[in-house]
Amino acid sequence: MLAIPARVIATCFALACFAGSVIVGIYHQNPAMSVLLSSLVVLVAAYVVGLIVGAVAQHAVNEHIRKHKAQHPIPGEEPGDDAVATAPPG
């Protein structure tokens, strides 16, 4: 199973919010130090929110995949096997 970790979602969300905050600050002609400080606060807050949202999304996707595998088993595969995560020997 190829999962997108919650940290990746949080990082993308935080960087997007940081960029948006910088653009809005520059558009309103705020001082550079004020723009950067407020954008850093937004970055940290958005990262925390992104971690929460990412963890919920990751859990929902994993749960859906688990239910789908239980309802549609592949013949010859053990119930707990994960074919994608298993590397061939050698």
For 11-44, how does the pLDDT look when each residue is reduced to its tens digit (9 = 90+)?
Answer: 999 999 999 999 999 999 999 999 999 999 999 9
Straight-line distance from the first to the last Cα atom of the chain, in angstroms, rounded to the nearest whole number: 21
Q: Is residue 76 part of a domain?
A: no
Instruction: Check the CA dihedral 19-25-26-27 and report its sign.
Output: positive
Q: Is residue 79 part of a domain?
A: no
The range of the structural domain enclosing residue 23 comes to 6-71
The reported pTM is 0.72
Number of independent structural domains in the chain:
1
| Residue 1 confidence class, pLDDT cut points 50, 70, 90 | very low
Least confident of 28-37, 55-64, 81-90: 81-90
